[in-house]
A and B are shown apart, each in its own frame.
Chain A
Amino acid sequence: MLSGTLTLLGLAVGLASVLLLGDRMLASRENTAVERVERILPRIHCGQCGYDGCRPYAQALVAGTASINLCPPGGEETIRQLAELLGAEPLALAAERGRASMERVAHIDEDACIGCNLCARACPVDAIIGIPQMLHTIIASACTGCERCLAPCPVDCIVMRPRHA
């Protein structure tokens, strides 16, 4: 009687701990919905979707408060994959969101730059170097082509160029 109870109790505790452990380990490996959505997005944090980076947009997508067609650098491919993952209807890219592309990088016309530092403050990936009142320049290999630096420039000395040229 006692040995039977103890055996069953032992089995219950042992198996429960195995299940618990397995659940913990598997859960930590499986990506959350937000992470999976974020993997589809370009992760260049251009902010053209209206959110401050890809993660907030991914969170909004998962919460169902954002439309899937707001990402210009991702383009149709991203929309297709998002539609597939989220079970939504594919939509055409929202045109008013801009046309940022990873194929292009920003370039500062160094003769015109007045060193106002506004572009460097706008850059989401710190790809612009320069201190106030001094010449600024763009680290092309780090630039994601998000075009966030274009609008703040008071002298319009930033242009987009093809990445490989």
Chain B
Amino acid sequence: MPERVKIHRKFTGGLPLRPYKALSTGAAASRLTIPKRLCISMQQQSGAPAMACVTPGERVERGQLIGVPTATLGAAVHASACGRVHALEQRPVPTGSRLVVADCVVIDTDPEPGPASAPGADHWPGDRAGRLAAIRRAGIVGLGGAAFPTADKLGCDRACETLILNGAECEPYISCDDMLMRETPDSILAGAAIMLEIACASRCIVAIERDKIRALETMADAVRRFADERFTMVAIPTIYPAGGERQLVEMLLGLEVPSGGHPIDIGVVCQNVGTAHALANFVASGQPLLSRIVTVTGRGVEAPQNVHAPIGALIGDLLAHCGGLNERASRLILGGNMMGYSLPTADIPITKSTNCVVALTAEDVRDDTTEWPCIRCGECAAACPARLLPQELLRAATGRRFERLTALGLVDCIECGCCDVVCPSHILLTARFRAAKIELAEHRAHARLADAADERYLRRKDRQLREADAARHEQDELKARLAGDEASRRAALSAAVERARGRKRSPDEPE
């Protein structure tokens, strides 16, 4: 049995929740046949979207680059099946916390799946910088939900000591990481070993929630087979949101990630098990990130299960693959029931951040959204894993008091939804905080613009004053010179007059 790290301390707040995971873990994960049409978003990761580099009508091979990363935090996008580009268009696509409108490459796929485009011979170079560039080219991003580019996470210049392999998967309904750990534990560990090397970290902690018994067993076996003393396993308590980056770090190491910072600030990198698998797959086969495992679950789905689906498949295709929606289904949720958001339609493609689709039935959903006044009971503060004061944040958000929101630490809200669950007045706190975060960002952008404008305006006023001063000075000088000229001219004139008069007075004097 590999060594087990002890839990350092339980993080603050959090809630035990009903897991609803058994719904989708009964059957083995299946594989979605390539749908007729794929819609691949250029906004696959957090950060600037990629730029499409194909044109309508063009043929694309499986694994061909179709989107080049543009700015910082970029990642490449590839065709997840061969076919012909049908169109480039703007469509709503999911990100970690909401739908956004982004450029999409729509591909009509071939009925017969062709061979993948051959990877370059040197897809995995020997040096660290080359490897980071290769990871970016392979479009590998964090598959836990936020889709942070993996190259940026691993390539940070600051020293990293500990890699945490996150298999906690604390949110109800979601079981894709669980299934992946049961299916491909060796690949996950191989990926983690590569990550250790690139991040120059000295140890890797594999963290899995205590209730995932089968995943714990298979991973423990794999760690034993792997026989690497840098790896340790931890079974963490089943408390939502134990899988949150900050909560995990706090629990395993007893360290707190600074406000507004990242785990790397204290020498820790967290990586999702799915990301490790994708990386190992890329290194072994040269295949970029083309598919991911998605949980399709909920009591509104005929046959809930985990599905390996190509990036860009429509959620409708996934649902059809799982037997379709039954008549009880009343609402579609992307993500889990805590941090997910409801979808207006199933005609939305999955991205690299899509880990779960839940079809809820009427009895799962609380339709009555009546809010009662806050009674200041403080339950929300006790439940908040980020140690914030949701009731105070709510007041500041309603009053749009941005300085107060900043002081209360709105940026540290992880939008986990614990405060919503415990609020006896049924106040929709998290939704407000999400909106307030966007408003705060806008407010800050305006403030930056205003500061810059202020500075430019004052400099301009300054310059105008200086110029006016200089002009006046020049004029004065000119006047003075002219006045001087005038005086000497008059003096010369009067001297000449004097001479003439003198000559007039004594005309008979000898010359």
Which A residues fall within an 8 A CB radius of B? 42-45, 53-54, 77, 102, 124-127, 142, 144
- 19 A-B pairs whose Cβ atoms sit less than 8 Å apart in the complex: A42-B450, A43-B450, A43-B451, A44-B454, A45-B453, A45-B454, A45-B457, A53-B457, A77-B400, A102-B446, A102-B449, A124-B460, A125-B452, A125-B456, A125-B460, A126-B459, A127-B456, A142-B452, A142-B456
Q: Of A77, A102, A124, which contacts B457 at CB under 8 A? A: A124
Given contacts A45-B457, A53-B457, A126-B459, list 6 more A-B pairs with CB under 8 A: A43-B450, A44-B453, A77-B400, A124-B457, A125-B452, A126-B456
Report whether B456 and A43 are in contact in the complex, using a CB–CB cutoff of 8 Å.
no
Interface residues contributed by chain B, number (CB under 8 Å): 12
Q: How far is the CB of A47 from chain B (nearest CB, A)?
A: 10
The main secondary structure of chain B at its interface with chain A is: helix
Pair B460/A44 contact, Cβ less than 8 Å: no
> What residues of B have a CB within 8 angstroms of the CB of A54 in the complex?
454
List A contacts of B460 (CB < 8 A).
Answer: 124-126
**Nearest-Cβ distance from residue B402 to partner chain A, whole angstroms:** 11
CB < 8 Å: which of A42, A45, A125, A142 contacts B446? A42
In the complex, how many angstroms separate the beta carbon of A164 from the nearest chain B beta carbon? 10
What 0/1 pattern do residues 451 to 480 of B give for CB contact below 8 A with A? Answer: 111101101100000000000000000000
Closest chain-A Cβ to B383's Cβ sits at a distance in Å of 32
Chain B residues at the A interface, C-beta cutoff of 8 Å: 400, 446, 449-454, 456-457, 459-460
CB distance from B181 to the nearest CB of A (A): 41
Is A125 a contact partner of B400 (Cβ separation < 8 A)? no
Collect the chain B residues with CB atoms within 8 Å of residue A144's CB. 449-450, 453
- Nearest 5 Cβ contacts at the A-B interface: A125-B456, A43-B450, A45-B457, A44-B453, A144-B453
Q: A84 CA to B313 CA in the complex, in Å? A: 52
CB-based contact A125/B457 at 8 Å: yes
* A49 to B450 alpha-carbon distance, docked (Å): 16
Cα of A40 to Cα of B456 in the assembled complex, Å:
19
Contacts of B446 in A (CB 8 A): 42, 102
Least distance between B459 CB and chain A CB atoms (Å)? 7
- B residues within 8 A CB of A53? 457
B236 shortest CB reach to chain A, Å: 42
If the complex has contacts A77-B400, A102-B446, A144-B449, are A43 and B454 also in contact, measured as CB distance less than 8 A?
Answer: yes
Chain A CB within 10 A, most for which of B400, B451, B452: B452
**Chain B: minimal CB distance from A36 (Å):** 12
B163 to chain A, nearest CB (A): 37
A54 to B454 CA separation, bound complex (whole angstroms) = 9
CA distance A41 to B507 in the complex (A): 86
Check if B400 sits within 8 Å of A43, measured CB to CB: no
Listed residue (A42, A43, A142, A144) with the most chain B CB atoms within 10 angstroms of its CB: A43
In the complex formed, the residue of A with least CB distance to B455 is A125
A27 to B453, CA, bound (A): 27
Q: How far is the CB of B439 from chain A (nearest CB, A)?
A: 11
- Closest-by-CB residue of B relative to A127 is B456
Shortest CB-to-CB span from B70 to chain A, Å, is 15
Rounded to whole Å, the gap between the CB of B467 and the closest CB of chain A is: 12
The residue of chain B having its C-beta at the shortest distance from the C-beta of A145 within the complex is: B449
Report the separation of the CA atoms of residues A31 and B226 in the bound assembly, to the nearest whole angstrom.
Answer: 64
